[in-house]
């Protein structure tokens, strides 16, 4: 009689607890929001997804059992129902059972977890290599087998909308905060190795569809790999706090078919050659100011602001600054080499000599800085070597 | 009972004037509170301080949740947002949870082991009074030109080295907190080891005493490690060393190893005393001895040991060798075993008891359920391959808040309701206590559960703004956050009412099922207790003696 009572209440509680778990783990899906890890588009991401689902269900079942026992007790063993307290205080048998069973579950879990990790850590046999370098707050990509490389930053419309009190509705911006000016273009089907590092502070490169993130640590090179199965656009973000604009350095990968990729590399190589030639000719003032204005907007304005007034105390004003109006060579060095211990980074590896020359010409002649100086790409290249 | 209320006290007192003052409380505010060496008064100071810090750290959380209420930046600049997340965590960890546990230790350990006071009363005073200075200094950095620390409570270099001159104050504040914690820990160990009443053998000690004893060893082991780590940051920042600067031959990842060698035991420093409190409260309100007392002690000790060898599970994405990642994954998974033993033992304690559901019991049951959820998500995080997805997302934020808020904070509340009648001599309002519990429990889940979805769907942590696809759950989370924050004001009301206005006097026993030495002294507990040690016999403590 008593036994049966416990059993029936237990069953009812089991149903109730299971419904609660369903409400927490499954039902929110029907709000139309994504609530689970992506399956992604690579063998690694699918493996990490299925590990996640296994361990999630193992945890759910353990949770359901524990809570069922507990709430059954709460329903039955109340003083208000006149339940007399038992006085037992241990049971060696029970304690051995609930030590051994979790150990067995964990061993069972460890097997697939180990094999997934081994796969992840085997970047051998790669068919191409991309070097990824994190900067505050942008990503630089270099295709090591080709003469291709560029810097990728937050798209201009997102950047305008994300300013404090911009008045621009984020939902009106395409892929708000997840769009960039230049996406990383990659071929599907090839095993691609990434060499990941950083220039200033630690960042982390994360595209959820690839199934992993990896820290970008200054002075160290980390490896990771992916073989993308399907063409498409895959978006991610920096995943390690890297300063004020950590939330604003997204990653966009454009995965394309092999032939499309080859054509894209071709076009980039042509552009690269053009850039080299451009660095060797002499530019006129208006041309430099024009280019400088756009380089300034994308590279410098996040800190020094559009009007060159900076943001005290961390980000000094360029308007009237002793550097931007002082001797040219020192100005060039600060921009090329950065200022250690501050957010001012070394742009020498980040921008082409033409871009730097343009940005310098612009800052020396805008915001009321009337030096009249015209900085040529060759001036920059000269100092960069020295 | 006259032998234990201590009518003729002699320790550390000027006896000339105090003879007929029954309680022997020092007169005057300064003497009573600033120069105090009394464990009860120092305990009260710690608890009040911790509550204040809880509200300061909590307001910062409100700023964070308000900014995250919807996409776009509406309220604060990103850099200030980062200062808020960093300060929120530092204040909550070092200012609220840790001092609150030391406050409980001060009040309860001497009462539980039958000692007249802490072993080192003057040091006790000092270890408390360092804290207001440390936190004033830490908070003052928010008003300095270079702003407060904004690199996260983990202070990873090189980013933390970009903090301006205020960084020196942050490091010094951390040093002071460390000194305070170490002194507190030494005092607790000395008290437990030397001042137990006759008959209070180690394996008769209440679990709260056991868990604090083990916690105190963890503190002594890891606070110096943290102090070393921040000192190296200090010299890297100001004196040109390169401990963590790769360009100078240093290693930024080394900092993370050192930090987490401190940091993982630190999370157990915050939760082991919670295990102890729950192990006191569940037997009381189940009217049944704690199940598996000895197993609980050994599980606590194994958790403490394992906590030293799992630190790099916070660093699975940092680029460790495969063997290292495997080791830290297996070791972390192993922690789930003793943790499971604890949960099973709590449920077995309730099983076939005769339960009533006063506020302390409600908070303890809430703890068992919600801490288990946090423990299970911890087990998920231990799987290093899938952690490559979870790491540094809102999933992790949800995990550690489940173990810290309905984990540590709920047990602090449970303990406060449980012992408040003993401290104040009055009963609190059970009705408002229950309202506090239900509002907290509902709102804390609305606040943190959706963060699991956000993290899995790809939202990184420590960002001030997010893509619109994350908007719905962030809004829920913020609403839950505001509700949780407001609900905590009820607690303040309940405490003030209980201490100053409640007409309902507490008995010595307070709770029908309560066992243990603290319930043998009158309520409120007199200023001096156990000046003649009590004799402890089997059956006087909250667990059976027959393990
Ligand atoms: C079953 C027990 C537990 C396991 C297996 C576990 C596992 C983990 C793992 C693997 C992480 C790293 C996640 C990542 O960053 O990718 C983590 C983070 C964290 N855990 Fe736990 N955990 C457990 C219990 C606890 C407890 C009891 C506390 C504190 C009371 C706690 C507090 C934290 C905190 C504060 C973090 C985040 C630290 C940060 O990155 O800022 N955990 N946990
Ligand atoms: Cu970042
Ligand atoms: Cu840990």
| Residue B390 is among the residues annotated as catalytic for this protein | no
Of B399, B407, B408, which is best to mutate to test ligand 1, by the most ligand atoms within 8 angstroms of its C-beta?
B399
Asked if the Cβ–Cβ distance from B356 to A36 is below 8 Å, we say: no
The domain boundary residue, chosen from A208, A233, A265? A265
Residue B252 sits at the chain A interface (C-beta within 8 Å): yes
Asked if the Cβ–Cβ distance from A114 to B326 is below 8 Å, we say: yes
Residue B23's pLDDT is what? 66
Residue B20's pLDDT is what? 41
Whether A172 and A248 share a structural domain: yes
Asked if the Cβ–Cβ distance from A70 to B347 is below 8 Å, we say: yes
Whether A348 and A257 share a structural domain: no
Give the number of beta-carbon pairs within 8 Å between A and B. 315
Q: Which atom of ligand 1 is nearest to the CA of B89?
A: 41
Which among B389, B460, B250 has a CA at the least distance from the CA of A218?
B250
Whether A257 and A156 share a structural domain: yes
Whether A247 and A284 share a structural domain: no
Q: Which atom of ligand 1 is nearest to the CA of B339?
A: 1
Structure confidence at residue B3 as a pLDDT band (50, 70, 90): very low
| Annotated catalytic residue, options B300, B339, B478, B531 | B339
User: Which residue in A10, A17, A25, A52 has the most chain B C-beta atoms within 10 A of its own C-beta, making it the best mutation to test that interface?
Assistant: A52
Residue B14's pLDDT is what? 40
How many angstroms is it from A123 CA to the middle of ligand 1?
29
Is A50 within the bounds of a domain? yes
Residue B542's pLDDT is what? 65
Residue B432's pLDDT is what? 96
The domain boundary residue, chosen from A231, A265, A299? A265
Residue B1's pLDDT is what? 35
Residue B18's pLDDT is what? 38
Residue B228's pLDDT is what? 96
B370-429 pLDDT, tens digit each:
999 999 999 999 999 999 999 999 999 999 999 999 999 999 999 999 999 999 999 999
Give CA–CA dist B218/B269, Å, rounded. Answer: 7
Whether A208 and A259 share a structural domain: yes
Is A87 within the bounds of a domain? no
Tokens of A351: 């921008």
Residue A273's pLDDT is what? 79
What SS3 class is residue A232? strand
Q: What is the pTM of this model?
A: 0.89
Q: Which residues of A touch B158 (CB under 8 A)?
A: 200-202, 218
Give CA–CA dist A251/A261, Å, rounded. Answer: 18
How many angstroms is it from B492 CA to the middle of ligand 2?
39
The distance of B401 to chain A (nearest Cα, Å) reads 17
Residue B9's pLDDT is what? 38
For B11, residues 6+ apart whose C-beta sits below 8 A from its C-beta are B116, B117, B528, B531
Pick from B161, B246, B351: CB nearest A73: B351
Whether A238 and A132 share a structural domain: yes
Q: What is the ipTM of this complex?
A: 0.90
Q: Structural domain tally of chain A?
A: 3
Whether A22 and A113 share a structural domain: yes
Residue B247 sits at the chain A interface (C-beta within 8 Å): yes
Whether A96 and A211 share a structural domain: no
Whether A159 and A244 share a structural domain: yes
Cβ–ligand 1 distance for B379 under 6 Å, the answer yes
How many angstroms is it from B399 CA to the middle of ligand 1?
7
Give CA–CA dist A356/A367, Å, rounded. Answer: 18
Q: What is the rounded average pLDDT for all residues in chain B? A: 92
Closest residue of chain B to A21, computed from CA coordinates: B373
The enclosing domain of A152 has a CATH number of 2.60.40.420
Stretch B176-197: mean pLDDT, rounded? 96
Is A156 within the bounds of a domain? yes
Which among A182, A211, A175, A177 has a CA at the least distance from the CA of A194?
A211
Whether A326 and A256 share a structural domain: no
Residue A2's pLDDT is what? 63
Residue B112 has pLDDT above 90, yes or no: yes
Residue A378's pLDDT is what? 83
Q: Domain range spanning residue A240?
A: 128-265
How many angstroms is it from B117 CA to the middle of ligand 3?
35
Asked if the Cβ–Cβ distance from A241 to B462 is below 8 Å, we say: yes
Closest residue of chain A to B76, computed from CA coordinates: A164
For B238, residues 6+ apart whose C-beta sits below 8 A from its C-beta are B168
| Long-range contacts (CB closer than 8 Å, 24 or more residues apart) made by A267-272 | A268/A146, A268/A147, A268/A148, A268/A150, A269/A146, A269/A147, A269/A148, A272/A147, A272/A148, A272/A149
Higher-confidence position of B6 and A40: A40
Closest residue of chain B to A101, computed from CA coordinates: B337
The domain boundary residue, chosen from A265, A287, A321? A265
Residue B343's pLDDT is what? 95
Give residues 24 to 63 of B whose Cβ lies within 8 Å of A. Answer: none
Is A61 within the bounds of a domain? yes
Is A274 within the bounds of a domain? no
Is A359 within the bounds of a domain? yes
Please give chain A's pLDDT, 386 residues, in tens: 466 688 999 999 999 999 999 999 999 999 888 999 999 999 999 999 999 999 999 999 999 999 999 999 999 999 888 888 888 888 888 889 989 999 999 999 999 999 999 988 887 888 999 999 999 989 999 999 988 888 999 998 898 889 888 888 999 999 999 999 999 999 999 999 999 999 999 999 999 999 999 999 999 999 999 999 999 999 999 999 999 999 999 999 999 999 999 999 998 888 777 777 777 888 888 888 998 998 898 888 888 888 888 887 778 888 888 888 888 888 888 888 888 767 787 888 778 888 888 989 999 998 888 888 888 888 887 776 54
Whether A138 and A64 share a structural domain: no
Whether A284 and A189 share a structural domain: no
Is A273 within the bounds of a domain? no
The enclosing domain of A315 has a CATH number of 1.10.760.10
- Any idea which residue has 């043998």 for tokens? B520
Is A366 within the bounds of a domain? yes
Asked if the Cβ–Cβ distance from B544 to A89 is below 8 Å, we say: yes
Asked if the Cβ–Cβ distance from B472 to A55 is below 8 Å, we say: no
Give CA–CA dist A59/B382, Å, rounded. Answer: 12
B446: how many CB neighbours lie within 10 A of its CB?
17
């Amino acid at each position: 009689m008593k036994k049966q009572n416990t059993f029936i209440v237990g069953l009812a509680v089991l149903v109730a607890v299971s419904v609660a778990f369903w409400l927490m783990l499954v039902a929110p899906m029907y709000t139309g929001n994504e609530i689970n890890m992506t399956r992604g588009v690579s063998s690694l991401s699918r493996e990490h997804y299925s590990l996640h689902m296994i361990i999630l269900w193992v945890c759910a079942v353990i949770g359901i059992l524990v809570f069922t026992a507990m709430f059954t007790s709460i329903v039955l063993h109340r003083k208000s129902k006149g339940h007399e307290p038992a006085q037992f205080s241990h049971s060696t048998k029970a304690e051995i059972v609930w030590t051994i069973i979790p150990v067995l579950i964990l061993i069972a879990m460890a097997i697939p977890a180990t094999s997934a990790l081994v796969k992840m850590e085997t970047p051998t046999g790669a068919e191409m290599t991309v070097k990824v370098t994190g900067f505050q707050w942008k990503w630089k990509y270099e295709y090591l087998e080709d003469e291709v490389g560029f810097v990728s930053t937050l798209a201009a419309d997102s950047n305008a909308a994300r300013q404090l009190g911009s008045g621009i509705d984020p939902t009106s911006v395409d892929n708000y905060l997840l769009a960039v000016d230049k996406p990383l273009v990659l071929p599907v089907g090839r095993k691609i190795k990434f060499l990941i590092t950083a220039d200033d502070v630690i960042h982390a490169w994360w595209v959820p569809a690839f199934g992993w993130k990896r820290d970008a640590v200054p002075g160290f090179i980390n490896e990771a790999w992916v073989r993308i199965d399907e063409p498409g656009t895959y978006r991610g973000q920096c995943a390690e706090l890297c300063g004020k604009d950590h939330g604003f350095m997204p990653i966009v990968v454009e995965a394309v078919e092999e032939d499309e990729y080859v054509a894209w590399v071709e076009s980039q190589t042509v552009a690269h050659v053009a850039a080299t030639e451009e660095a060797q000719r002499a530019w006129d003032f208006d041309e430099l100011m024009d280019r400088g204005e756009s380089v300034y907007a994308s590279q410098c304005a996040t800190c020094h602001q559009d009007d060159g007034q900076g943001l005290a105390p961390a980000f000094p004003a360029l308007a009237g600054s002793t550097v931007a109006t002082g001797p040219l060579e020192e100005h060039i060095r600060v921009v090329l080499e950065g200022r250690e211990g501050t957010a001012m980074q070394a742009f020498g590896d980040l921008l082409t000599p033409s871009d730097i020359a343009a940005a310098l010409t612009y800052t020396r002649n805008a915001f009321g800085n009337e030096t009249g100086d015209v900085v040529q790409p060759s001036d920059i290249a000269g100092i960069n070597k020295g | 009972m006259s032998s234990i209320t201590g009518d003729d006290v002699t320790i550390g007192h000027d006896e000339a004037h105090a003879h007929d003052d029954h309680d022997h409380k020092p007169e005057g505010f300064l003497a009573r509170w600033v120069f105090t060496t009394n464990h009860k008064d120092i305990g009260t100071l710690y608890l009040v301080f911790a509550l204040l810090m809880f509200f300061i750290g909590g307001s910062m959380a409100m700023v964070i949740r308000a900014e995250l209420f919807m996409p776009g930046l509406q309220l604060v600049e990103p850099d200030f947002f980062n200062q808020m997340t960093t300060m929120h965590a530092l204040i909550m960890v070092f200012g609220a949870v840790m001092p609150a546990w030391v406050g409980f230790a001060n009040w309860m350990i001497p009462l539980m082991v039958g000692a007249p006071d802490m072993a080192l009363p003057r040091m006790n005073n000092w270890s408390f009074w360092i804290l207001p200075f440390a936190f004033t200094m830490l908070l003052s950095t928010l008003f300095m030109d270079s702003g407060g620390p904004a690199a996260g409570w983990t202070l990873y270099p090189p980013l933390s080295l970009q903090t301006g001159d205020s960084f020196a104050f942050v490091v010094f504040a951390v040093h002071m907190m460390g000194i305070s914690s170490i002194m507190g820990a030494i005092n607790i160990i000395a008290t437990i080891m030397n001042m137990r009443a006759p008959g209070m053998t180690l394996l008769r000690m209440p679990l709260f005493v056991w868990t604090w004893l083990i916690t105190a060893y963890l503190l002594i082991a890891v606070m110096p490690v943290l102090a070393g780590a921040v000192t190296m940051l200090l010299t890297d920042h100001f004196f040109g060393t390169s401990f963590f600067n790769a360009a100078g031959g240093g290693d930024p990842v080394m900092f993370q190893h050192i930090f987490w060698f401190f940091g993982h035991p630190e999370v157990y420093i915050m939760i082991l005393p919670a295990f102890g409190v729950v192990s006191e409260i569940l037997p009381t309100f189940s009217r049944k001895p704690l199940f598996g007392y000895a197993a609980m002690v050994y599980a606590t000790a194994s958790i403490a040991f394992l906590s030293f060898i799992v630190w790099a599970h916070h660093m699975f994405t940092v680029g460790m060798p495969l063997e290292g990642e495997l080791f830290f994954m297996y070791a972390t998974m192993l922690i789930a075993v003793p943790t499971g033993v604890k949960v099973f033992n709590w449920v077995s304690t309730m099983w076939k008891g005769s339960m009533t559901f006063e506020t302390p019991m409600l908070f303890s049951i809430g703890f068992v359920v919600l801490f288990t959820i946090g423990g299970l998500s911890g087990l998920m995080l231990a799987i290093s391959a899938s952690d490559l997805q979870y790491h540094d997302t809102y999933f992790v934020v949800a995990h550690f808040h489940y173990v810290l808020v309905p984990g540590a904070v709920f047990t602090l509340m449970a303990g406060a309701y449980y012992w408040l009648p003993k401290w104040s001599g009055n009963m609190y309002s059970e009705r408002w206590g229950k309202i506090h519990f239900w509002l907290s429990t509902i709102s804390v889940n609305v606040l943190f559960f959706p963060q699991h979805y956000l993290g899995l769907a790809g939202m990184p942590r420590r960002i001030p703004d997010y893509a619109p696809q994350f908007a719905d759950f962030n809004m829920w989370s913020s609403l839950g956050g505001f509700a949780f924050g407001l609900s905590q004001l009820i607690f303040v009301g309940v405490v003030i009412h209980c201490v100053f206005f409640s007409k309902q006097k507490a008995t010595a026993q307070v709770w029908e099922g309560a066992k243990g030495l603290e319930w043998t002294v009158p309520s409120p507990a007199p200023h001096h207790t156990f000046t003649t040690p009590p004799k402890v016999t089997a059956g006087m403590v909250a667990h059976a003696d027959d393990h």
